[in-house]
Amino acid sequence: MTKRLEGKIALVVGAGSVGPGWGNGKATAALFAREGATVVCADVNAKAAEETVEIIKGEGGEAMALSVDVAKSAEIEAVIARTVEAHGRLDVLDYNVGIAHVGGVVELPEAEWDRVFDVNLKGCYLAMKYAIPHMEAAGGGSIVNISSIAAIRYTGVPYSTYYATKAAMNHLTKTTAVQYAPKGIRINAVLPGLMKTPMVEKSTGLAGEYARGDVEEMWKIRDSQCPMGHMGDAWDVANACLFLASDESRYVTGLELVVDGGITLKYS
């Protein structure tokens, strides 16, 4: 049986994990490799990217690790150039980067506003900026941007930067999708809901907002908020990314694919 990404070259930006376990990008990189892709694992944490590569190679897959600061144009340009130089083309770009800082517009330091926008939104823009010309030259490709249900609703936590950056990412995804649809480049967004991942555990202030710093209590509260009775995990996000990266979604572009166990259907 043919694997779903057989022969594809995929770049996963944010392929490491901020802590033990499976983050969205790490799981996505591993799943892409299991489905036949050669995966370039890029992350600001070089050691984390290498760990993902070791897992992929240990399973018999093909991967390489690169370090990148997504807020720096030259570094993103270099990662994409190295990917194409090493493998001849770029078929799939998965932008799986996001940071959050708890604080509404009054409490939030201005420097944090700028930092989160640089990582969450500017990095997404830069990744597409440098990837799209290579995809256009090759006759097409698939871009998957990882957004959040925070882009479309209040989640109970006051983090204005996360809401704003993810909402902007959604619109950037849709408008760019229209522009490049005639070129055979599909651009979609995945919107995870409440997920149990290392990024959530490590995010500044989240456990404090939920449960006075008690991480285990935070997990219980988040589980109870979900109609299915539990949070999703990184593999739920990875499977959504796989669909959008594969030819199974060849007629899908500009989509906001919500992966949330039904929580956005609730009134509160």
**Alpha-carbon 243 to chain mean position:** 14
Token pair recorded at residue 33: 């490799």
CA–CA separation, 93 and 83 (whole Å): 11
Cβ contact 156:206 at 8 Å: no
* Contacts (Cβ under 8 Å, ≥6 apart) of 64: 39, 40, 41, 53, 86
Identify the DSSP state of 228: T
Q: Are strands 38-43 and 62-67 parallel, antiparallel or unpaired?
A: parallel
Active site residue 162: yes
CA-derived radius of gyration, the chain: 18
Q: H helices of 98-193, where?
A: 110-117, 123-138, 160-180
Cβ contact 67:49 at 8 Å: yes
> Which of 95, 159, 162, 180 does the annotation list as catalytic?
162
3-state secondary structure of 241: helix
Task: Count Cβ atoms below 10 Å from residue 59 Cβ, excluding itself.
Answer: 11
3-state secondary structure of 153: coil
Q: What positions carry a catalytic annotation?
A: 162
